[in-house]
């Protein structure tokens, strides 16, 4: 029963009988999905008359994917909870976030992809952290949407922290950082890449480039938040 109705809200840790993949009623009001209309290229809010946002017009060359969906604006409660998932070991947040991603992909996405691929961490970073948050999100997403999870991507080198870099520097920093695994056959497939946050898009662009170079038919991206 504890698996179906955990005893604690994964966000505020309040006691209560909460259905798996959910949060308590108080937290539900704090986590609000992005409003419509949404930008086709980043999943964020549209701020003009086009079907893409102003930043996606400006960063057009960092959008090699076909379509993007995201759930939250990266701020406030969502930002805090994502930091807990990413750096605080609070992996018990993944079922809630994965459920939100599944619901948003169902409404705003492009149907069922052939395979869902999380953005990989460098093996040493994953070793130090103990897990890859994007992999946890992708696994929960796949479980809910009954979609196949793959590990087609690998990281070819360690990258510097991106937080202080601008868009152009991030792109340079990420260029060629991903490659397709030799055993992964992505030829002709429609692939959905999952990551935690889309900021400039440099990481997801590098992941998309690697998959397209290996013969993928198309790549879409799904993130938890738009930075």
Cis? peptide before 140, omega within 30° of 0: no
Size of the site for Zn ion (CB under 5 A): 13
Binding Zn ion (rule: CB under 5 A), the pick from 6, 21, 34, 53 is 53
Length of the chain in terms of residues written? 227
Q: How many CB atoms lie within 10 A of CB 109?
A: 19
Nearest distance, CB of residue 114 and Zn ion, angstroms: 25
Query: x/- contact string, 2-31, with Zn ion (CB under 5 A)?
Result: -------x-xx-x--------xx--x----
Nearest distance, CB of residue 185 and Zn ion, angstroms: 31
Binding Zn ion (rule: CB under 5 A), the pick from 42, 102, 152, 179 is 42
Tell me: does residue 179 bind Zn ion (CB under 5 A). Answer: no
Q: Where are the beta strands (DSSP E) in 43-100?
A: 68-73
Tell me: does residue 45 bind Zn ion (CB under 5 A). Answer: no
Task: Compare residues 24 and 101 and give the one whose CB is closer to Zn ion.
Answer: 24
Task: Compare residues 99 and 152 and give the one whose CB is closer to Zn ion.
Answer: 99
- Phi and psi at residue 146, in whole multiples of 5°? 50, 55
Q: How many CB atoms lie within 10 A of CB 13?
A: 11
Distance CA 89, CA 129 (A): 8
Nearest distance, CB of residue 46 and Zn ion, angstroms: 7
Q: Are strands 218-226 and 178-180 parallel, antiparallel or unpaired?
A: unpaired
Tell me: does residue 41 bind Zn ion (CB under 5 A). Answer: yes
Tell me: does residue 206 bind Zn ion (CB under 5 A). Answer: no
Cβ contact 140:94 at 8 Å:
yes
3-state SS assignment for residue 215: coil
Number of Cα atoms under 13 Å in the Cβ half of residue 162: 20
With contacts defined by CB under 5 A, name the span among 44-52, 74-82, 84-92, 137-145 that binds Zn ion.
44-52
Binding site for Zn ion (CB under 5 A): 9, 11-12, 14, 23-24, 27, 39, 41-42, 44, 53, 56
């Amino acid at each position: 029963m504890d698996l179906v109705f955990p005893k604690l809200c994964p966000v505020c840790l309040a006691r209560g009988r909460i259905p798996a993949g959910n949060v308590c009623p108080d937290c539900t009001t704090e986590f609000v999905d992005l409003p419509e209309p949404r930008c086709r290229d980043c999943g964020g809010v549209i701020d003009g008359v086009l079907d893409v946002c102003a930043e996606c017009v400006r960063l057009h060359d960092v959008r090699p994917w076909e379509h993007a969906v995201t759930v939250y604006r990266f701020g406030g409660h969502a930002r805090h909870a994502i930091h807990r998932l990413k750096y605080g070991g609070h992996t018990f947040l993944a079922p809630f976030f994965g459920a939100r991603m599944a619901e948003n992909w169902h409404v705003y996405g492009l149907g069922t992809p052939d395979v869902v691929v999380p953005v990989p961490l460098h093996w040493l970073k994953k070793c130090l952290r103990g897990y890859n948050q994007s992999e946890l999100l992708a696994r929960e997403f796949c479980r809910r949407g009954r979609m196949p999870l793959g590990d087609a991507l690998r990281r070819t080198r360690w990258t510097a922290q991106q937080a202080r870099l601008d868009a152009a520097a991030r792109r340079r920093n990420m260029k060629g950082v991903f490659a397709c695994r030799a055993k992964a056959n992505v030829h002709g497939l429609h692939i959905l890449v999952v990551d935690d946050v889309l900021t400039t898009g440099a990481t997801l662009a590098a992941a998309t480039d690697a998959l397209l170079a290996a013969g993928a038919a198309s790549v879409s991206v799904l993130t938890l938040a738009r930075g």
